Chains A and B, each alone.
Chain A
Amino acid sequence: MNETINNIVKRIGLPRLIIGLLFLATCLTAVMIDLPFGLIVSDILRRFGMFGVLSLAMVPAIQCGTGPNFALPIGIICGILGTLIAIEFNLTSPLLGYGFISAIIISLPFAVLSGWLYGLLLNKIKGSEMLVATYTGFSIVSFMQIAWVTLPFKHPEMRWPIGIGLRVTVSLASTFGEVLNKLWGFSIGKVYFPTGLILFFLACCAVVWVYSRTKAGIEMSAAGANPKFAAASGINVDKNRIIGTILSTFLGAVGVIVYSLSFGFLQLYLAPLYMAFPAVAAVLIGGASTSKIKISHVIIGTFLFQGLLTVAMPVANELVPEGNLSEMLRVIVQNGIILYALTRIGGES
């Protein structure tokens, strides 16, 4: 009996089990205290699509052996930059996805360049990638504070009407805000299904999955899994780590564009600072470890983690009206899961 329970726990994985049960419990509570469940489900779906690509950005980083990409803000800033430029030059025709496609295309060269430079850095500090990544992320966000004030963007929608610099949040209502959510979107009762958004996320997953099964993809995961083995097969390990970092950075850029699209606003300044953490936590909940990850981990993890946060917020507010319990819950779950995952090596076999 004990053994079967142990086996089940092992098969599912402790993080998935805990978060899964917590998710179910909050869902039940939400139903019991008569919260508008249709709205909550819509919200879960929206946030699932919104955060999905950011979580997906962890895949190439973990596969190439540099560990969870805590320096995701680098990619995020590339995405923001791409979006700003797309809006600045009015590349927002319907053909360009109201700026969505142009933003992705413009962010690509930034992501490749910064991913490459950051990859060079990672190759010099093998073994302490995660720590260095975290601080690289922090530094780059701080550096960009200056850039947001000084970059010569002119578009009235993103400049402060008075004073200098860019606004803290730039509305995307007139450009590509929510275009994916509305694409083929439909309602069942009170549940709104953002078809385009979910499809885009799943398509990105498919692309990454297909890539991981190409010659280059296998090469990259071998370089990550056992650098000595890869070297003995004539593989340039450092090059593959750089490729993985570039891919992760680019996915981070796409991720933040999708995130902003669904959110309706582009967030500058301090917003990117902590964006890597929910993404890392999501894949770790999904069953990934710091050295192994599958696409299924991304999908399951993002759904559970974002689902839990979405439901917990109204439930917590209902049960404890005073204070900011749901936000505290988010921080505890997110950082707790990261801490848990970092203390153990292995994950699902």
Chain B
Amino acid sequence: MAEDYVLQMKNIDKEYYGNKVLKGVSLSVRKGEIHGLIGENGAGKSTLMNILFGMPVIHSTGGFSGEIYLNGDKVDLKSPYEAMKMGIGMVHQEFMLIPDFTITENIKLNRETTQDNLISKVFRSDRLKTLNTGSMAADAKKALNRVGLTIDEWVTVAGLPVGHMQFIEIAREIDKTGLRLLVFDEPTAVLTESEADNLLSAMKRLAESGISILFITHRLSEVIQIADNITVLRDGELVADRKSAETNVAELAELMVGRKVDLKGKEKQSREYQESEVILDIKNLQVDMPGEKVTGVDLKIYKGEIFGIGGLAGQGKVGIANGLMGLYPSKGEVIFKGEKLELNNTKSSLERGLAFVSEDRRGVGLLLDSSIELNIVFTTMQTKGKFLKRFGFFSQLDDAGIREYAAKIIQDLDIRCTHSQQLTRQLSGGNQQKVCVARALALDPETILVSEPTRGIDVGAKKLVLDLLIKLNKELGMTIIMTSSELVELRSICNRIAIIFKGKVAGILKASNSDQEFGLMMAGEYQKIEEDGEGRLNE
């Protein structure tokens, strides 16, 4: 029955400049249902949501075809504001909160409860009414309770943990009266595992209270865990509608990627390496990276291993690679290949044979308005003078050489693009990441530092990236130092994994160590237990 559905989107077609990104996609969400929407990057999830919210980008590029029904009525949403009025809310991936406002103010922004005062009566203006802080706080409290966040509503948002901010976003959405459908766009991407669990149970509670939820994610186990129905998109097409009770992670992954994916992943081994040959010896490294401060790290990394650096966000794991590359002010002593590495000098780090794939893909990793091929060869050109033709003392770009190299590596890494001169801005996240990896590889490095290589990448591309790292390690003997928030990923390819806590190494574990050990170490509890002598956990 049509009336059962809160949202129905029928036969949605959309093209951008002749490029069809959605082909006859339909989506139906019942009242009180959690509906999972999954698909690789570039599968058309964001476009579908942009259509639902009537984003200007859709209308400025020629609109779309197909029909949208809300509660059985055909609607034509022209702007996000209209969508909001129709009871559709969105929890964004990047938080849209004002840091210096209190939680209440953030939740009630532009929907404040007000009361008349003398001036507003004189001018007969709603805008001049006094805020009714009491009722606002009560509303905020109520909304916070509904999402299960126990925090005082008068606290300012600045400085709160990421997980809390997410909940405040949700509280703001559910505080809106008449909210019928709430869209979560990869809400767990920035959360730690325990925060993600909290979020999922909050979503369940919301669904039980009658709000329908559209849950967009990459994490298949989460979607199975909480969604009632799951829609899978691939390359702009609707591939499957499944009841989550009747499917499993492996099937979803397969549907999504369209090729067999070995999700479990056998324990992958890196090449044999000698525990005696230290390639990188880090002593008391301190890096002043805002938000990821490293306060004194000692690590020995052996030649030919895949070394993992893990830990919770903000503990400093990301700072290590950035410090080694001289991107943030650092102190300490680093011996690389038997010689001292000059800190705070990016050029020398690169020349010594360290390559870096940044965690900040769009900010640091790419020249967004330059071609793919220039992005790939740029660093190599600058540090090694390759891809240049020499004419006496001046040089010119070697177009043919660059194109040839780019074509080869584009094929090797399966970078999906129209041609090698395409701007990197136009690529999807996964393909952008591959360009970043390609740039590091072009340096022909001995040791490669990879930070968050799979952040925001779909399952298929993730596997390709990880396989690629193993291949580089096995076939070329490259030493790989991978920083990642995804423990599973680290454990699937690394020999040893250092867990960073409060800017220091909490300990080094093997992939085979138990979940419990990893969990304790990340939470900073490991040493306490060890000091108490309760558990002798081997390193």
CB of B388 within 8 A of CB of A215, answer yes
* Chain A neighbourhood of B395, CB < 8 A: 214-215
Within 8 Å by CB of B370, from A213, A225, A235, lies A225
17 contacts between A and B (CB under 8 A): A7-B17, A214-B395, A214-B396, A215-B395, A219-B382, A225-B367, A226-B363, A226-B367, A226-B368, A228-B364, A231-B327, A232-B365, A234-B348, A234-B350, A234-B351, A292-B369, A349-B423
> What sequence of 0s and 1s flags, for each residue 349-360 of chain B, a beta carbon within 8 Å of any chain A beta carbon?
111000010101
Within 8 Å by CB of B397, from A3, A7, A218, lies A218
Q: Kindly identify, within residues 360 to 398 of chain B, every residue whose CB is under 8 Å from any CB belonging to chain A.
A: 360, 363-370, 374, 378-379, 381-383, 385, 388, 394-397
Within 8 Å by CB of A225, from B345, B365, B369, B385, lies B369
Q: Kindly identify, within residues 186 to 238 of chain A, every residue whose CB is under 8 Å from any CB belonging to chain B.
A: 210, 213-215, 218-219, 222, 225-226, 228-229, 231-235
CB of B396 within 8 A of CB of A210, answer yes
Which 8 A-B pairs have CB atoms at the shortest separation, nearest pair first?
Answer: A234-B347, A234-B346, A233-B379, A228-B364, A213-B397, A234-B350, A215-B395, A214-B395
CB of A232 within 8 A of CB of B397, answer no
For residue B370, which residue of chain A has the nearest CB? A225
Distance to closest chain A CB from B60 (angstroms) = 8
For residue A214, which residue of chain B has the nearest CB? B395
Within 8 Å by CB of B382, from A7, A228, A234, lies A234
CB of B367 within 8 A of CB of A222, answer yes
CB of A233 within 8 A of CB of B383, answer yes
CB of A233 within 8 A of CB of B382, answer yes
* Chain B neighbourhood of A232, CB < 8 A: 325, 327, 346, 356, 358, 364-365, 379
Q: Is B99 an interface residue (CB 8 A)?
A: no
Q: Is B62 an interface residue (CB 8 A)?
A: yes
Q: How many residues of B contact A (CB 8 A)?
A: 36
Within 8 Å by CB of B349, from A215, A228, A234, A349, lies A234
How large, as a class, is the contact surface on chain A?
Answer: 20 to 34
> What sequence of 0s and 1s flags, for each residue 1-18 of chain A, a beta carbon within 8 Å of any chain B beta carbon?
001000100000000000
Within 8 Å by CB of B378, from A7, A218, A228, lies A218
Distance to closest chain B CB from A14 (angstroms) = 15
B interface: dominant SS: mixed
Distance to closest chain A CB from B162 (angstroms) = 22
Partner-A contacts on B (CB < 8 A): 17, 62, 325-327, 345-351, 356, 358, 360, 363-370, 374, 378-379, 381-383, 385, 388, 394-397, 423
CA of A222 to CA of B346, assembled, Å: 15
* Chain A neighbourhood of B358, CB < 8 A: 232
CB of B365 within 8 A of CB of A229, answer yes
Within 8 Å by CB of A215, from B62, B350, B385, B423, lies B385
CB of B381 within 8 A of CB of A234, answer no
CA of A182 to CA of B94, assembled, Å: 63
Q: Kindly identify, within residues 310 to 347 of chain A, every residue whose CB is under 8 Å from any CB belonging to chain B.
A: none
CA of A3 to CA of B356, assembled, Å: 43
Distance to closest chain B CB from A173 (angstroms) = 38
CB of A233 within 8 A of CB of B378, answer yes
Partner-B contacts on A (CB < 8 A): 3, 7, 210, 213-215, 218-219, 222, 225-226, 228-229, 231-235, 292, 349
For residue B380, which residue of chain A has the nearest CB? A233
* Chain B neighbourhood of A218, CB < 8 A: 374, 378, 381-382, 397
For residue A225, which residue of chain B has the nearest CB? B367
* Chain A neighbourhood of B367, CB < 8 A: 222, 225-226, 229
CA of A235 to CA of B327, assembled, Å: 11
CB of B383 within 8 A of CB of A349, answer no
> Given A214-B396, A232-B356, are A3 and B62 also a contact pair (CB < 8 Å)?
yes
Within 8 Å by CB of B381, from A215, A231, A349, lies A215
Interface centre among B327, B364, B365, B374 (most CB of A within 10 A): B364
Interface centre among A3, A7, A222 (most CB of B within 10 A): A222
Distance to closest chain B CB from A311 (angstroms) = 35
* Chain B neighbourhood of A228, CB < 8 A: 360, 363-364
Within 8 Å by CB of B366, from A3, A226, A231, lies A226
Q: Could you list 5 further interchain pairs (A-B, Cβ under 8 angstroms) beyond the known A213-B396, A226-B364?
A: A210-B396, A226-B363, A231-B364, A234-B351, A234-B379
CB of A214 within 8 A of CB of B356, answer no
* Chain A neighbourhood of B345, CB < 8 A: 234
CB of B369 within 8 A of CB of A349, answer yes
CB of B370 within 8 A of CB of A233, answer no
CA of A229 to CA of B358, assembled, Å: 9
CB of B394 within 8 A of CB of A214, answer yes
* Chain A neighbourhood of B394, CB < 8 A: 210, 214
* Chain A neighbourhood of B327, CB < 8 A: 231-232
* Chain A neighbourhood of B388, CB < 8 A: 214-215
* Chain B neighbourhood of A214, CB < 8 A: 388, 394-397
CA of A231 to CA of B356, assembled, Å: 12
For residue B363, which residue of chain A has the nearest CB? A228
Distance to closest chain A CB from B189 (angstroms) = 22
Distance to closest chain A CB from B229 (angstroms) = 36
Distance to closest chain A CB from B481 (angstroms) = 16
* Chain A neighbourhood of B365, CB < 8 A: 229, 232
CA of A132 to CA of B230, assembled, Å: 56
CB of B382 within 8 A of CB of A215, answer yes
* Chain B neighbourhood of A3, CB < 8 A: 62
For residue B17, which residue of chain A has the nearest CB? A7
CA of A349 to CA of B363, assembled, Å: 19
CA of A22 to CA of B265, assembled, Å: 65
For residue B397, which residue of chain A has the nearest CB? A213
CA of A89 to CA of B117, assembled, Å: 80
CA of A59 to CA of B347, assembled, Å: 27
CA of A3 to CA of B381, assembled, Å: 41
